[in-house]
Copies of this chain bind each other. A is one copy, B any other.
């Protein structure tokens, strides 16, 4: 049997209630008793039973972070931000991997409820309404990250604007046929980026050629295959915008296979940081997101909700930045013929 609060109480010659008070340092306790309790706790190696505590208080000091793909460094980079925000408030962060799978996501949302987590940060793969209702019923706050769901708190970046800016940048560089590798249109993020791409073309007076758009799955191989397919379009694109990090890596692979170099043969812009993959030597122009800050803000917002903040759902949009490096430049074509 492990030591419980009664053992500590007995050892310290006080009641269980006093031990509890000392440990949760709420009301004032006689300093002497306090010391005796603390001493007993240490001597006996007492650790409170979380289940009993949360059964009583109906909450834990744990927040859940459900990530849509644990193997994608973009998501894991946000983890530390959430952790730091949580830790400052005394909470621990526990992760789950939804694997872009709606069922798995639903399962973990249920685990979160069953384990009475204090709140959830979620990058929804497709968040089923029933589960969200479940959380709402139990007053478990939830903050969406990277992707939005109407009516819920979220922390994102201005995807549409950034994709538009990236596309405009390629056009300004003189590239004529800009292809686009889109993400799964179940996510707001992917849809917004596609919209931005379209808007840029329209506003610069170009037709949106469906042959220059490929939808893929946000993964390396998907990006590879999509880029490969695009490159074999009738007249192939002379530039490519790829809408997430993993697909960017795959697309670069496809370029290499086709014997194309960016810059030089083709203009290229990726999404998200890829230095974790390619190192600093790769001079790839990308849209870079403040991943740590996204996590951090989501964590902070969640904690505010946990503390009872009941203001209407907030949509926090953090600035992100098109970082122009070599891969998008088109020196030759800009030079007057």
Contact = CB atoms under 8 A, between A and B. Distances in A.
Interface string A143-177: 00000000000000000000000000000000000
Contact of A96 (B95, B99, B220, B252): B95
Contact of A50 (B95, B115, B280): B115
Query: Interface residues of A: mostly helix, strand, loop or mixed?
Result: helix
Nearest to A251: B279
A97 B111 contact: no
A108 B87 CA distance: 12
B276 A116 contact: no
A215 interface: no
The count of identical subunits is 2
A83 B98 CA distance: 11
B92 A79 contact: no
Interface in A219-274: 220, 224, 249-250, 252-253, 256-257
A137 interface: yes
A120 to B, nearest CB: 13
A93 B66 CA distance: 12
A70 interface: yes
Most buried by B among A116, A220, A279, A281: A279
A71 B276 contact: yes
A136 to B, nearest CB: 12
B110 A47 contact: yes
A111 B93 CA distance: 10
B111 A249 contact: no
18 contacts: A2-B138, A45-B137, A47-B134, A49-B55, A49-B114, A62-B111, A70-B70, A70-B76, A71-B76, A80-B97, A83-B97, A94-B95, A95-B96, A220-B275, A220-B276, A249-B279, A256-B279, A256-B281
Given A71-B79, A73-B73, 15 more contacts: A45-B137, A51-B116, A71-B80, A76-B76, A79-B97, A80-B97, A83-B97, A92-B107, A93-B96, A94-B95, A220-B276, A224-B280, A249-B278, A253-B279, A256-B279
